[in-house]
Amino acid sequence: MTPTRTVLEERVASAAPAEAKPLARRRLLASCADQPGIVAAVSRLLHDAGANIIQSDQYSSDPFGGTFFLRMEFAGTDHVVEGLAERFGAVAERFGMTWRFGNPAVPKRVAILVSKQDHCLQDLLYRWRRNELEAEVVLVASNHADHREAVEAQGLPFHHIPVANPAEKPEAERQLLELLDGTCDLVVLARYMQILSGDFLRLVGVPVINIHHSFLPAFAGAGPYARARERGVKLIGATAHYVTEDLDEGPIIEQDVNRVSHCHDVGALTRLGADVERTVLARAVGWHCEDRVLRHGNTTVVF
Amino acid sequence: MTPTRTVLEERVASAAPAEAKPLARRRLLASCADQPGIVAAVSRLLHDAGANIIQSDQYSSDPFGGTFFLRMEFAGTDHVVEGLAERFGAVAERFGMTWRFGNPAVPKRVAILVSKQDHCLQDLLYRWRRNELEAEVVLVASNHADHREAVEAQGLPFHHIPVANPAEKPEAERQLLELLDGTCDLVVLARYMQILSGDFLRLVGVPVINIHHSFLPAFAGAGPYARARERGVKLIGATAHYVTEDLDEGPIIEQDVNRVSHCHDVGALTRLGADVERTVLARAVGWHCEDRVLRHGNTTVVF
Amino acid sequence: MTPTRTVLEERVASAAPAEAKPLARRRLLASCADQPGIVAAVSRLLHDAGANIIQSDQYSSDPFGGTFFLRMEFAGTDHVVEGLAERFGAVAERFGMTWRFGNPAVPKRVAILVSKQDHCLQDLLYRWRRNELEAEVVLVASNHADHREAVEAQGLPFHHIPVANPAEKPEAERQLLELLDGTCDLVVLARYMQILSGDFLRLVGVPVINIHHSFLPAFAGAGPYARARERGVKLIGATAHYVTEDLDEGPIIEQDVNRVSHCHDVGALTRLGADVERTVLARAVGWHCEDRVLRHGNTTVVF
Amino acid sequence: MTPTRTVLEERVASAAPAEAKPLARRRLLASCADQPGIVAAVSRLLHDAGANIIQSDQYSSDPFGGTFFLRMEFAGTDHVVEGLAERFGAVAERFGMTWRFGNPAVPKRVAILVSKQDHCLQDLLYRWRRNELEAEVVLVASNHADHREAVEAQGLPFHHIPVANPAEKPEAERQLLELLDGTCDLVVLARYMQILSGDFLRLVGVPVINIHHSFLPAFAGAGPYARARERGVKLIGATAHYVTEDLDEGPIIEQDVNRVSHCHDVGALTRLGADVERTVLARAVGWHCEDRVLRHGNTTVVF
């Protein structure tokens, strides 16, 4: 049930004439109030500059008065691409755009936080080693020491920042912030069972993605599998979302479910759930790293 | 994503020697405290009586102290089968069983209640005409007159019992009870948008199945599609459940979901949701009519 | 498991200021050799003409030397929109485009051919009555008379064109061609169990969509459910495709599957399969009518 | 879309009184011509012997003249359980049963064969470490040396048995047979890209499970993802099956699919396919190890 996503990157990489210098690529992510002429202006700018649009996706929450979202991937010589950011500023100003350029050649630096359950951690590391994620994992931190050996065996730094009791949490967050400062573009909570404070989220300065082990908004909070069994649901799910101060309420990036029955006890639900969790989190992290996810209020646009 | 169910019925019907009188069939549905010897005692009774077990499913919530559930389908001559209910009483008493015999040759009589949305109604009627449901639809009742023509065109009685305001509800329920009294074995709320009172549920004397247009327990209550859109969920679902006094809290029989995205507005979510609703309700009604669903506290065992 | 599709139409319709004359809409479908500047040229033309791009999807089979596909939906005053087709000719010529304009206000006229199984027919008619398809069903034709009453009861012409033996087929096709001539924009084979000749396909002059009752290319040809049971597959599927002279080999528009098990005999597989068939065909017909499907050799691009 | 399976094992293990010696468990797997009295005889034997039936599943391909399949799990004291195999012989003879007793306390010994692609290998090892499989992985063998380090790091023996050209294959198979002789109860081909000879299959003496990277019978043979792209299918799948001399024709244990679109090139299809492959193979191996799979001609019964 994986949704279909545009996967032109490798064709681009491989299709350019072998003898020529490969073209540089960039991704424009932009949003603004919807209004006539946006696509015409952007595509003209890119064309006039000598860049070739490789892929373009757009969405308007309402073509007459809503918000317009654009993801445009283009290729050009280093010279062309480097000059574009500056020239784009004028167009962006005209339309009142929020925008940024992403560079697919520079993988996002990802820090992974984990507690005792390692299925999401292991799956992310596996996909990272296989180059399935447009990401560079830079460190793993945990409030438990359990996974030190497994992480270090993969050549990654592991940081144990314990939180023995609630009183230690501010200090642990301080250490985490120090550790993460400037080292990463994304923090992934791969079953990190500590609630991060609003101060932490403001200070960390990069997006934080969490995997929640239920189909939100059902079974928000703790113990979702036990509650799913009590309620007799026929599907269990998982939700990857950006973390906000409102616990389990942040913008949802991806969800999926798995069929279960009365035969599954809490242990079995937990095991089956682990498969959904790792799948859903890997998709969300992958899409984020490919600059496919734009926030829209408390929801997301996923191109 | 339809779960797999045993579907031996037609093989049984067709496999019996053509020249011989076809065997009668029955289904035993039983539950009791789990204890040794249940299957041995039941299967021996059936075998000694000359009945042939065609299918048997069992489940124990805990083999050492839980509840045991059994569904056993068997065939025998009319004489054998008719004598069995009496003989089974002794076994049932010994194990403290709650039990009943179902007769697949006698389809459940089903009354359908509907409001303005007719997709579930139409799908149930379609499957009924195709003999996909082990059921006989006996009447349709509605608080609106919209579907009279379509229902009567299929040779079914249609009853318009309006509920113009809350004050009229007790009288409407009284009329419904009078209408349903003795005429049906199951009431299906196929998008019937009135909340039935506890008194009604006690007096109607037969199970009531409802389709809720969300993946419960998420988005219980009204307007689930609008709330799903606001929350930015990536899957929408539907839930078929037995109706209890606790609104949207009754034992769940079946659930399913459909993938959606930011592109789907409330209208589109509603349309896609209608497809899930009709599918989920048809499965739940079908399984109930085939005596596959046993209640277990506030959950179900679906064989 | 329905894929997500852009569903902006109703927002467009409802969002235009109520007092103003509603804007006309058109859809541009175009393909050509991929080359720089296409989107810039097209979007500029539309913008300069005073049209507002509502939605735009593009795909390139290879950004450096492949085929480029574009679907662009736009709105403007009647005057603007009517003048555009002419002005677009010059752009199309410059890029060597194959192209056409679709008008969402003019639903596709659909003729349905059916044999004895009516589940796909009924589902299409149901969705047509609910306005879920951007289509106008204009007639139903069949080689059997079984469904005359059901079709005529919905106010639709029903044509019985029997094919008692292979020798009658040319004459039946001749009658069908006469019937369909100029009356429809799409022919849907909703379980029409006759193989149409190459001559018929050339002469009918409109696309023909078929539903095949298996997950092609597995179990092409007759009796897919019996062969699926013999082979012990764990999923059964259905495939909607454009009909070409190569039987069961035409470009695939949509496919889906349903989980089955050893418990399902051929009858049960057939019943479960019917649900997948009707779902898959309805999606394919809907997408075709919304101008979302472009052929690409023997495959399709579905926007 | 994971099918639901009975998962009572851990409840049994945990529910037995803590102070008492835990009960021994066994699984009876049996098949024979369907006939009256089988369940009665088997359950009576178990009950009389003092064993408690924990779970029972049965299936008959045809209650009047087909084949009957039974999986019954029971618990008893060591004394009771050990005496049962002998006593069961008489019942088995009476009904002409093929049967065996499985002991869940003795995990199946599994040898994994792999070539260059390691996603299935890694997933199996991951689940083995987490105790998700009722199996003991005993060795990994490969025709390439690539995965030696990763395998040995997990404390497992790795055997490199190269097959540089077809002429070397008989010798490689001889080495494999020597290696596997007596060491394993199951061989898993986790993307082992060598075709095993009929001689090998006869001599190895244990079941061999393969994962095929397509939804069989579609795209049997080599290069399924390239052919899937050429054919424009909208779903890609994987099939786990027992290996027989008829290549890609052995009894299917499990299948699943993933939705794709025109956007996915062969590389993307291969990556998405890898996820389905590892999931499908893990399920098949898990079910086999839990004695849930019985062969039925060229198909399987999966309880």
pLDDT of residue C20: 61
Q: Which residues of D touch B59 (CB under 8 A)?
A: 6
The lowest-confidence range among C178-182, C211-215, D6-10, D257-261 is D6-10
Active site residues of A: 248
Q: Most C CBs within 10 Å: which of B120, B149, B154, B263, as the mutation test of the C interface?
A: B263
* Per-position DSSP letters for B19-34, written without gaps between them: TSPPPEEEEEEEEEE-
Residue D137 CB contacts under 8 Å (≥ 6 apart), including other chains = D110, D111, D112, D124, D125, D128, D156
- With CB atoms and an 8 Å threshold, state whether A237 touches B235: yes
- With CB atoms and an 8 Å threshold, state whether B40 touches D36: no
Q: What is the pLDDT of residues D2-57, one digit of tens each?
A: 444 444 444 444 444 445 678 999 999 999 999 999 999 999 999 999 999 999 99
- With CB atoms and an 8 Å threshold, state whether D2 touches A275: yes
Rg (CA), chain B: 21
Q: Most C CBs within 10 Å: which of B56, B118, B126, as the mutation test of the C interface?
A: B126
D20 touches chain A (CB under 8 A): no
- With CB atoms and an 8 Å threshold, state whether A4 touches D265: no
Residue D115 CA to residue D134 CA, distance in Å, equals 24
What domains are defined for chain A?
9-102 (3.30.70.260), 108-302 (3.40.50.170)
Nearest CA in chain B to A254: B234
Q: Which chains touch D (3 or more CB pairs under 8 A)?
A: A, B, C
Task: Estimate to the nearest angstrom the gap between the alpha carbon of C78 and the chain centroid.
Answer: 27
Orientation angle between helical segments B266-289 and B119-129, nearest 10 degrees: 40
pLDDT band (50, 70, 90) for residue B14:
very low
- Mean pLDDT on A131-160: 97
pLDDT band (50, 70, 90) for residue D85:
confident
pLDDT of residue B247: 87
DSSP bridge partners of D74: D26, D53
Q: Quick one: B211 exposed, middle or buried, by C-beta within 10 A (0-12, 13-18, 19+)?
A: buried
Query: In the structure encoding, which two tokens stand for residue A303, read together?
Result: 């191109």
Rounded percentage of chain B residues whose pLDDT exceeds 90:
89
Residue D162 CB contacts under 8 Å (≥ 6 apart), including other chains = D143, D144, D145, D168, D172
Rounded percentage of chain C residues whose pLDDT exceeds 70:
93
Q: Which residues of A touch C43 (CB under 8 A)?
A: 39-40, 43-44
Nearest CA in chain A to B249: A231
Q: Which chains touch A (3 or more CB pairs under 8 A)?
A: B, C, D
Q: Is the ipTM of this complex over 0.95?
A: no
Q: What is the pLDDT of residues C186-228, one digit of tens each?
A: 999 999 999 999 999 999 999 999 999 999 999 999 999 999 9
- With CB atoms and an 8 Å threshold, state whether A56 touches C54: no
Residue C118 CB contacts under 8 Å (≥ 6 apart), including other chains = C146, C147, C150, C191
Query: In the structure encoding, which two tokens stand for residue A260, read together?
Result: 């279960």
Q: What is the pLDDT of residues B229-284, one digit of tens each?
A: 999 999 999 999 999 999 899 999 999 999 999 999 999 999 999 999 999 999 99
Task: Estimate to the nearest angstrom the gap between the alpha carbon of D76 and the chain centroid.
Answer: 26
Short-list C124, B59, C173, CA closest to D73:
B59
Contact pairs from chain A to chain B, CB under 8 Å: 89
pLDDT band (50, 70, 90) for residue A20:
low
Q: What is the pLDDT of residues A285-297, one digit of tens each?
A: 999 999 999 999 9
Of D12, D40, D46, the CB nearest to B46: D40
Catalytic residue chosen out of the listed positions D34, D118, D248, D256: D248
pLDDT band (50, 70, 90) for residue A86:
confident
Determine the number of helices (DSSP H) and then strands (DSSP E) in chain A: 9, 13
Short-list A194, A151, A203, A148, CA closest to A174:
A203
A67-81 burial code (b ≥16 CB/10 A, e <16): bbbbbbbbbbeeebb
Q: Is the pLDDT of residue A2 over 90?
A: no
Nearest CA in chain C to B119: C126
Q: List the end-to-end C-alpha distance of chain B, in Å, as a whole number.
A: 16
Q: Which residues of B touch C153 (CB under 8 A)?
A: 153
- Angle at D40 (CA atoms; ends D35, D45), nearest 5 degrees: 120
Residue A127 CA to residue B128 CA, distance in Å, equals 49
pLDDT of residue A11: 43
Q: Quick one: D64 exposed, middle or buried, by C-beta within 10 A (0-12, 13-18, 19+)?
A: middle
Q: What is the pLDDT of residues C48-99, one digit of tens each?
A: 999 999 999 999 998 778 999 999 999 999 999 988 988 999 999 999 999 9
Q: Is the pLDDT of residue C265 over 90?
A: yes
A166 touches chain B (CB under 8 A): no
Residue A78 CA to residue A75 CA, distance in Å, equals 9
- Mean pLDDT on C34-57: 93
Q: Is the pLDDT of residue C176 over 90?
A: yes
Rounded percentage of chain B residues whose pLDDT exceeds 70:
93
Q: What is the pLDDT of residues D96-127, one digit of tens each?
A: 999 999 999 999 999 999 999 999 999 999 99
Selected residues 51-70 of chain B with any CB under 8 Å from a CB in chain D: 52-60, 62-66
Q: Which residues of D touch C231 (CB under 8 A)?
A: 216-217, 252, 298-299
A31 touches chain B (CB under 8 A): no
Q: What is the pLDDT of residues C120-165, one digit of tens each?
A: 999 999 999 999 999 999 999 999 999 999 999 999 999 999 999 9
pLDDT band (50, 70, 90) for residue B20:
low
The torsion angles phi and psi of C245, rounded to 5 degrees, stand at -65, -25
- Rounded to a whole number, what is the distance in Å from the CA of D250 to chain C's nearest CA? 9
Q: Most C CBs within 10 Å: which of A7, A48, A52, as the mutation test of the C interface?
A: A52
Residue B187 CA to residue B206 CA, distance in Å, equals 7
Of A4, A126, A265, the CB nearest to D259: A4
Active site residues of C: 248
Stretch (H or E) spanning A60:
strand A52-60
Nearest CA in chain D to C58: D263
Q: Which residues of A touch D126 (CB under 8 A)?
A: 122
Q: List the end-to-end C-alpha distance of chain C, in Å, as a whole number.
A: 16
- With CB atoms and an 8 Å threshold, state whether C2 touches B261: no
Selected residues 242-271 of chain A with any CB under 8 Å from a CB in chain B: 251-257, 259, 261-263
